Structure 1
Amino acid sequence: MTAEVPLLGGTANRGRVHRVGDTVRRPLRPTAPAVHALLRHLESVGFDGAPRVLGVDDAGREVLSYIPGQAVTAPAPPWGLTDAALRSVGELLRRFHDAVAGFDARPYSWSPAAPAPFAGGAITHNDPNLDNVVFRDGHAVALIDFDLAAPGAPVWDVAGTARLWAPLRDPADTPDGRRHRELARLRVLADAYDLDDDGRTRLAAAAAAHHAWMCDLVGDGARRGVPGFAEYWTPDARARADRTGAWLRTRADEITAALA
């Protein structure tokens, strides 16, 4: 029998995702039919930056193809925090949004969608965290963990990516070389994605809303006893989240100006 190797990263599924040979085994969620339809669509249009659906194993876990490479897991390696790596993330995200443009999400039930005015439109990944992007040779090649995918506006995903990768937060909470470069890196991401003028105008509001949405999601999971969320949502984590929310509100004009 092929050994099961735990895969690092993630919060909700921490310790529950394993590599088995060239496959990945993950908990099967209620939204799996929607996510599997999305992944099959991506395969049908030739998008190579997402796992393939292979079925369900005898343990009731979804089986996906394993994508070789490295994710930026803590402690983040220096190569994962470079502008070149960020640029490749923006390019990958744009390819993903272009690939899902023709997908019909209406027949399926999804995870909680983005709030108005960022709901609807195409499909957004919604959780473009550092450990949900696979790299090879310092270049982003694939998105993984589509559990939170749902209908949403593309700028919602760009804003969520900027919030996590630039990162758009109080520099006191960025203990690496990205500190005080958040707005310059925001511009790197937006230019690599080729974000349009409307998206650049809306990004500051989208980033603040995405942060609040994710805090609500994690906080709710912690209150319900979801192990990964309960472990993560400590008083220190909540304090950091409060600082980020305040920073996003007070720096909205600077964020918009950096994209002009």
Structure 2
Amino acid sequence: METPLLGGTANRGLVVRVRNTVRRPLRVSSTATHAVLRYLEDVGFAGAPRFLDIDDQGREVLTYVPGETVTPPYPDWSMTDAALDSVALLLREYHAAVAGFPVDDFEWAEPVPAAYVDGTVSHNDPNLDNIVFRDGVAVALIDFDLAGPGSALWDVAAAIRLWAPLRPDDDIHDVRRGRVLSRLRRFADTYGLSEADRARLVAATADNHVWCMDYVRRGSETGHPWFHQRWTTGEAALTARTNAWFTQHSQALQDALLH
């Protein structure tokens, strides 16, 4: 029996659980992401699903990672500093594990800005519903559809943009409102971001927002139903507000990162 799995936009309604496996549509970058998952398995990284096979319907078959992902309405435990810390630590462990993967040997999905490419395979989409928790602790990254050449800085920027979150307070409707600066600093500290990357983090988060929202906009314009729904029911306006917010608050964000 197939059980639909909730969350996500690009593959909404197309990802299912079959017993202890997950079935997902193939993509242009599937060969690359399968190679990454095999590599992570070979080096003993437990924080990602395992690639198993292609099924008779042409879908990739992955191991099911038990636990919870964070979807609205957000549970209280997911908004805590402890949960934030665990995301930072999981991301650091992933970057250490994936180091050495031959990134140039494969075709990838969505290129990130060249300034944020240093030979690392970044996950590129550490959204709230792409991280599995158990007992309030982040234990695995899922949905490697956008993985590709990037950097630790780019992944940290993506994660903190979503988990702080970095946006106007009026657009934060949970207990994180008013705590953007402290959560930004906390994530960078817990991850152990280098001084050089701390100096670039604010610009990287603004650039990551532009990159991500451009991906959504293009999906909407090419007729993807869920991207279109998302873009036309508030995302376009939120994107404009957030872009302006980054410009207005860049110095305060940078100051929050100072030791």
TM-score, length of structure 1 as denominator length: 0.97
**Alpha-carbon offset, residue 82 of structure 1:** 0.6
2:155 partner SS: helix
Report the counterpart of residue 167 of structure 2 in structure 1.
Answer: 169
- Offset at residue 235 of structure 1 (A): 4.6
Amino acid at match of 1:37: A
**Distance across 2 between alignment mates of 1:169 and 1:121:** 29
Gaps of 5+ in 2: none
Question: What does residue range 83-122 of structure 1 map to in structure 2 within 5 Å?
Answer: 83-122=81-120
Asked whether the equivalents of residues 113 and 119 of structure 1 are also in contact (C-alpha less than 8 Å), the reply is: no
Which piece of structure 1 moves more, 96-105 or 136-145? Answer: 96-105
**Structure 1 gap segments, 5+ residues each:** none
Structure 1 segment 49-88 matched on structure 2, within 5 A:
49-88=47-86
Q: How does 1:39-58 map to 2 (within 5 A)?
A: 39-58=37-56
1:7: which partner in 2?
5
- Decide whether the 8 Å contact of 2:5 with 2:15 is kept in 1: yes
Counterpart-to-counterpart distance in 2, 1:147 and 1:228: 16
Runs of 4+ residues over 6 Å off in structure 1: none
The aligned residue for residue 134 of structure 2 is: 136
Q: Give the number of aligned pairs.
A: 258
1:161-240 superposed matches below 5 A? 161-240=159-238
Aligned mates of 1:153, 1:58 — CA distance in 2: 35
Q: Is the 8 A contact 2:118 2:151 kept in 1?
A: yes
Pairing partner for 1:19 from 17, 20, 27: 17
In the TM superposition, residue 119 of structure 1 has moved relative to its aligned partner by 2.2
Paired-residue identity, %:
55
SS at structure 1 position matched to 2:115: coil
Contact kept? 1:126, 1:149, Cα under 8 Å: yes
| Partner Cα distance (2:246, 2:96) in 1 | 28
Q: Which amino acid aligns with 2:257?
A: L
Distance 2:238 2:177 in 1: 15
Q: CA deviation at 1:249?
A: 1.7
C-alpha distance in 2 between matches for 1:34 and 1:125:
12
For 1:72 and 1:85, the matched residues in 2 are separated by 11
Distance 2:157 2:187 in 1: 10
Deviation at 1:173, TM superposition (A): 0.5
Q: CA deviation at 1:121?
A: 2.3
User: What residue identity is the alignment partner of 2:50?
Assistant: R
Kept in 1, the 8 Å contact 2:103–2:119? The answer is no
RMSD over aligned Cα, in angstroms?
0.8
- The CA deviation at 1:73 is 0.8
Q: Supply the distance in 1 between the matched residues of 2:118 and 2:95 (Cα, whole angstroms).
A: 13
Which amino acid is 2:85 matched to?
R
Distance in 2 between residues matched to 1:184 and 1:149, nearest whole Å: 28
